[in-house]
Amino acid sequence: MDKQSAIYVAGHRGLAGSAIWRTLESRGYARLIGRTSRELDLRDAGAVEAFFASAGIEYVFLAAAKVGGIVANNDYCGDFIRDNLLIQTNVIDAARRHGAKKLLFLGSTCIYPKLAPQPLQEESLLRGDLEPTNEAYAIAKIAGIKMCQAYNRQYGTTFISAMPTNLYGPNDNFDLETSHVLPALLRKIHEAKQSGAPEVDIWGTGTPRREFLHADDLADACLYLMEHYDGSDIVNIGVGEDIAIRELAELIARVVGYEGRLAFDASRPDGTPRKLVDTSRINGLGWRASTTLEDGIREVYAGYRQAVLA
């Protein structure tokens, strides 16, 4: 990419997409193209076709997706598989037909088997059963990976796929019904502090371990891959270390200043026991994450408080 390349960031208002947009902007890329879901419904093949036919897009960051936490993935599994298959199929195919030079497809580490060896290596894909609570979303993402690989093989495209671990950062979703664990905990604990509640109810046992990647680190990695990687093999993006959900809740409580009790409800589902990714491949390409979890949470909490008070 050069600074005048026409670059489309699909999902530029979301957590990952907005971070990619900010990073591109900060580095002087002048021709960024974004459309809100109201302006362009990526589930509509005709609308996507018309958009690509007129926009002259050279590079694509495909960060648009229907996302959510355990509850949303489990309760709305039909919506998750349908919408994600439509979004990625329409964008990937239009990019191919209209001659995009390169596309980066953002997947998720939920593509890996529930009981895959830890840390999760790229080679574990399709070597076991998926976590049932997010199977529909994972299958859609696996289809996107395989579509990129098939297009590279048949059409000679350069469509790459990156698998980020759990993300957090500016523009995160704090809705308690549809958000991921970190923003949900942050909101719950903040509201408990504000109300003076003696305890916070938290789903699960607190024992599952998760890895958390700041969205700005993800964006940096995506640009790095666009500039340094042309392979069809998937690439994990992570920090290389994880934390128990109980420890995460305690860290958030310290950041928020909440001194009440954290009550873990073992009758609720835990999800995958552990999700730590092997970052050897991307580290070998020369990239590493730079944001510590505590620093990242402090930044996100400051932004959340500002938004709540606005």
Name the binding residues for substrate: 188, 203, 210, 270
Cα separation, 300 vs 308, in Å, equals: 12
Phi and psi angles of residue 243, each rounded to the nearest 5 degrees, phi first: -150, 145
For residue 95 the two structure tokens come to 């990019």
137 is catalytic: yes
For residue 129 the two structure tokens come to 């059963």
Question: 101 and 58 in contact (C-beta within 8 Å)?
Answer: yes
Q: Which residues contact 209 (CB under 8 A, 6 or more apart)?
A: 242, 243, 244, 245, 273, 274, 275, 276
Cα separation, 17 vs 28, in Å, equals: 17
Give me the numbers of helices (H) and strands (E) for the chain, helices first please. Answer: 10, 13
Q: Which residues contact 1 (CB under 8 A, 6 or more apart)?
A: 7, 29, 58, 59, 102, 226, 227
Name the binding residues: 11-17, 106-109, 141, 164-167, 180, 188, 203, 210, 270
Selected catalytic residue, list 137, 168, 258, 304: 137
**DSSP letter string over 55-86?**
H---EEEE-------HHHHHHTHHHHHHHHHH
Per the document, the length of the chain is 310
Residue type, position 302, single letter? A
Residue type, position 226, single letter? M
Helix (H, G, I), strand (E, B) or coil at 309: helix
Helix (H, G, I), strand (E, B) or coil at 203: strand
Catalytic residues: 137
